[in-house]
Homo-oligomer: A and B are copies of this chain.
C-alpha cells in the first residue's frame, strides 16, 4: 500500500518535478494547479499528505489549508517562496504541519513527507515476517529467502518476487502482462517472454520438491501457482 500525495502548485514545472520524484519513491500522486482544484482533488483523491504552495489562484494556500482543516487532519506541508516568518506563522496557524521554502531540494521535500506521514506508516511497518508456507516450501519475502525443508535456496530478487506474487494468489492464473505489471512495475518496457525465462529458472530450483503444489503453465493464458487441495 503506497501513500498518496496531492501536489498543489500553479507552476506546472514544479508539479512535474515533484511528481517524478515522488513516484520514483513509490508514492501515488495527484496534481492541482489552483486552490479550487486542490479542494476538489482533496475530496476525490483522498490523499495521505498534501504539498501546498502558498501563492495560488482562486484560493490561497492558507485558505485551502484552513478549509481542509475544518474536516480533516491530513498532513499538510506548505511551500513558501521565501522564508519570511510571517508566512510561516500564518501557514502553521492555519494548520499546516511543516513548510519548505523555494528553491527546495526534492530530497528535502521527501524527508519532510516522510516525517509528517510517519504516523500512518507505523500501521504497516515493523511486524513479523510476511511469509507463505506450502507443504515443504517457505517463501519469506522479508528475508528474501526461499526455504525447502529447512534448507535455504538462494534466489535472485526478481525470481523471489515473482514466486511470492504467484504464491500470494494460489491457483489464480496471471497473464504475462499482469505479472510484468505486478512484479516488474507498470512502467516496464520489454518482452513478455522475460517471464518465461524466470519461470523456467524457478522451476529448476523448486521442481519436484512436492506434489502438493507447482508452477503450472496455462496454455494461451499465462502461469499459476497451483496448490492441490487435500481431499479424502
Contact = CB atoms under 8 A, between A and B. Distances in A.
Contacts of A83: 103
A218 interface: yes
Given A14-B85, A108-B189, 13 more contacts: A13-B85, A13-B86, A17-B89, A20-B93, A24-B92, A107-B190, A111-B186, A118-B186, A143-B172, A150-B229, A150-B231, A156-B219, A157-B219
A182 B156 CA distance: 25
Nearest to A83: B103
The 4 closest A-B pairs by CB, nearest first: A157-B220, A20-B92, A111-B187, A13-B85
Contacts of A108: 189
Interface in A171-221: 171-173, 181, 186-190, 218-221
A115 B181 CA distance: 10
Contacts of A16: 89
Contacts of A93: 20
Contact of A189 (B92, B105, B118, B129): B105
A181 to B, nearest CB: 7
A66 to B, nearest CB: 15
A160 to B, nearest CB: 9
A97 interface: yes
Interface residues of A, number: 49
Interface of A: 13-14, 16-17, 20-21, 24, 83, 85-86, 88-89, 92-93, 97, 103, 105, 107-108, 111-112, 114-115, 118, 129, 142-145, 150, 156-158, 171-173, 181, 186-190, 218-221, 224, 229, 231
Contacts of A224: 143-144
Contacts of A107: 189-190
26 contacts: A13-B86, A14-B85, A17-B89, A20-B89, A20-B92, A20-B93, A21-B92, A24-B97, A107-B189, A107-B190, A108-B189, A111-B186, A111-B189, A112-B187, A114-B186, A115-B186, A118-B186, A143-B171, A144-B221, A150-B229, A150-B231, A156-B219, A157-B218, A157-B219, A157-B220, A157-B221
Contacts of A86: 13
A14 to B, nearest CB: 7
